[in-house]
Each structure stands twice: as structure tokens, then as C-alpha cells.
Chains A and B, each alone.
Chain A
């Protein structure tokens, strides 16, 4: 494995989202829009043409009034590691190396200037976390003044997605370097959605670091592709073997089932995930 060659324990940034706390208010979405210069159009009601790196799904238990229940699923890019580190559905298929998997952070990157818009990665992503710029991004006159220089605005004809606010990591490291440090504190690198969440439903940190809250909440099992040991935690479509870094926690069983279908009982010796990589 490549980690071996690096001098130190690599990071594995990930998220734990408490679905009991999440209220579906959508602050995470807008925090993301404004942090990452996400463009907007006059009509955003066709959700399949609407760029939302962080998207909140509304899910119901399908029961009739008054037994109906609703749960909200915030869905950023899942930053899949795949069955062997870095074999994400999208990274493996990009023909021009425009999307990459960073061993140091476990973050799936997207380089807008490298991407030439073949959209293969979008077809590969089961979470619909990737978005194509069908239009040129246009800001009403004057509004371009709020654009952040830390995130490059995207041009028409390329794919974009959640980056775990990677620029915040870059800036935090800048600060660390100037202070003669090489390591970051847990609080120094937090994503915009995590920071904004009014319900404190999102937790972000290094899944490899036992001191970090995400590690304690999700209890990833390093020997089984980081499957959560916390019985209330689960990952979207666990059985695809995408080995994602977004863990969801819910006390409601129907919610956990909605997140990852348990059509075939999931057992650690199930060969399902193994089949999914190669």
C-alpha cells in the first residue's frame, strides 16, 4: 500500500451525521453554496439540473396519515475509498485523471481545469454526488463581489462536487506551517456545513484518529473496510463496497434500512463487498 511509503499515519477525513438531530433545515446546503462559490439559476426547481454539493433528501416511511414518519438525509460527496484504498467508483473511471484520491487525507478531489466533461464519473457515482455545469455560471451584476478566492469558480462543461472544503485544510496547513507546526488540531479543519449546522448534527474529523469525535461516534472497523461498529451507525449502500467516509447515525430502524438496503442480510463474511472491487 502507498501509505507505507509515507512517513506518517495518513489521515482519513470523514463525517458522522446524526439523523436524529438533523432537522432538514438545509443550512448545510447554503453554507456549502456560499463557501464554495456554487452558482445558481433563475429556475432551480428541476433538481436534476441543480448543483447542490450537499443535498438534503427527504425520506418517508411510506405509511399513511397519521403514522407517516419523515427523516432527512444530508448527502455530501461520500468520498469513497473502495475495496482497496483509492478505488472509488469515480476515481477509477476518470479517463483524464481529473479526479483523484489523496492518500494523505482520503479526500476525493476534482480538478476543474483538467476535467473535459465526459461525465463518466457521474455515471459511476451511485450517490449522484457529482454535478455537471450545463450552463456558464452567471452571477447577477454586483453579486460576484461575494465570491471567495479560496475556491475557483467552475467554467461551463465540467463536473464538480463536494471537496470536504479542502481549501480550509490548505489554509489551516498554511497557518500551521507559519507557526512551525505540521499537525492540525481537530477544530482547525472543519467543513462549512459542519460549522454551520444549527442542530449540531454533523461531526467532521479524522476517522483514523481515536481522539477525534468522528472515530468515537462511528467506531470504524479497520479490518472490515471501516464498517461502523456502532450498531446505530450505517453508511449509504454499504453493500456496494464503496467504503464511504460519511457515517449516518439513527435510532430508527426504518431509517437505517432506507439508507442501506438490507435485502440480503449483511454479514461480515458476506462476499458482496469483495465482489464489488477487484
Chain B
């Protein structure tokens, strides 16, 4: 904050008026250039950036969930089941495939759309058995799909795009559109689970973290 209290500023304004009067018409130009800059950066930010951010990978082979679902008798649980110790089997191992298929020699390196980072402890048991949540709520209608989507991986974080969601703006229409912590928290809030955290008044961190 300056406090020079001498007449100088006045003179300066007078001098300064001449150039500005010349550049007066420049006002329109300035606005134009401003808008150009705005437009360009918008295109980069909304259009190009998301394309660059994610790399696409295709699954080892195209798996038909619909077909399999018709064959098995225990719906999703036939292949994605809870083990006796309460842990979740996740994507099927070779051992399960060869119950029906002929012997293959090595495990299939599936790309897991819904893989959460290592810091997350997600209990399928708690959700399926405890809260009676169905698979679709988080995984969408994968079960009825006839082929596998291409897998998109964030180049910086290595996360599957399903975590952030496919809308770069982070807008979600369905419960399964996004799998960030806030989405878990929101659902927990709605389902009125214990407000056991001193800090957040929601579920304690350790409920879902390890």
C-alpha cells in the first residue's frame, strides 16, 4: 500500500492518457484475444486432456458374461464367490475355469475394472451378506454384457477409469458410474451406518482402509 501523497500522480494520469486514447480501439481486440485464449484452453482441458490422460488396454480375450450366466446355476456367485474365511475370490482363477473348460496352462491376466488401490479394504462379505447390496449397485449390468469393455488406465495413477468414472467432469447418473471414496461415504450415509468416526462423524476411516 503506497502512501506517496504528492501531486505527482495527477500529472502521470494526464501523460498516460495519450497512449491509452490511441489504444482505445484495442479494447475490442483485447476482448477478442481473451476469448480466443479461453476457447483454446477449454478445448484442451475438456477435449484433448482426457484422451491423453488415459491409456486403453484390451482384455486377454473377450469374455461373454451373458452366455456364462445362462450356463451357471448360482448367478454371479458361481464364479465370483465368498471364500470360507469370508474373503472374496474376485476374478475367477484358472482352477474355476477348468471345471467346465478343457485344461489351459496358465492363469488369465484379467484387467480388473473395479480394482481399488491397495489402501482400500473393501469387504464384499459386509456388503453382500451384511447389507444385502446386489452386485449391480457397484458393478452395473456387467452380468448381462456380451463382451468386455476396453480397459482404460490412468497414466499417472494407474487406476482403472471406472474409479473416477467415465465422465471427466465426475458427473454420475448411476450408482456404479463412479467408485471414489465420496461415493462409498455417500452410500454409507444413506444406509445410516454407524457414525463411528470422531473426526468426520461418518464411518471411521478403518472401516474401509487398511
Contact = CB atoms under 8 A, between A and B. Distances in A.
Contacts of A153: 118
Contact of B204 (A100, A113, A177): A100
Interface in A165-189: 166-167, 170-171, 173-180, 182
A151 B195 CA distance: 24
A105 B210 contact: no
Interface residues of B, number: 28
11 contacts: A5-B195, A10-B196, A100-B197, A100-B204, A101-B199, A101-B204, A102-B204, A173-B126, A174-B125, A175-B125, A178-B84
A174 B126 contact: yes
B206 A103 contact: no
Interface of A: 2, 5-7, 10, 85-87, 91, 94, 97, 100-105, 107, 109, 111-114, 150-153, 163, 166-167, 170-171, 173-180, 182
A177 B125 contact: yes
A125 to B, nearest CB: 17
Interface of B: 82, 84-87, 117-119, 121, 123, 125-126, 129-130, 194-201, 204-207, 209-210
Contact of A101 (B198, B209, B210): B198
A113 B119 contact: yes
Nearest to A151: B210
B193 to A, nearest CB: 10
A118 to B, nearest CB: 16
B197 A176 contact: no
A178 B86 contact: yes
Nearest to B200: A97
A98 to B, nearest CB: 8
Nearest to B201: A2
Given A104-B204, A173-B123, A180-B129, A166 B196 contact: no
A7 B207 CA distance: 17
B206 to A, nearest CB: 4
A176 B14 CA distance: 84
Contact of A100 (B85, B119, B200): B200
Nearest to A88: B198
A111 B118 CA distance: 12
Nearest to B127: A177
B210 A178 contact: no
A2 B196 CA distance: 7
Given A100-B204, A111-B209, A177 B199 contact: no
Given A2-B196, A102-B197, A150-B210, A109 B125 contact: no
Given A105-B206, A150-B210, A167 B197 contact: no
A101 B197 CA distance: 6
A194 B130 CA distance: 29
B206 A166 contact: yes
Given A173-B126, A177-B125, A152 B198 contact: no
B199 A97 contact: yes
B88 to A, nearest CB: 8
A85 B198 contact: yes
A111 B119 contact: yes
B85 A175 contact: yes
A104 B121 contact: no
B194 A103 contact: yes
Contacts of B82: 178
A76 B199 CA distance: 23
Given A100-B205, A167-B121, A177-B130, A2 B195 contact: yes
Contacts of A111: 119, 205, 209
Nearest to A5: B195
Contact of A104 (B126, B129, B194): B194
Contacts of A171: 85-87
A5 B196 CA distance: 9
B206 A102 contact: yes
A178 B129 contact: yes
Nearest to A177: B125
A173 B82 CA distance: 13
A109 B210 CA distance: 9
A54 to B, nearest CB: 18
B204 A152 contact: no
A170 B121 contact: yes
A166 B121 CA distance: 11
Given A100-B205, A177-B129, A178-B86, A152 B196 contact: no
Nearest to B118: A152
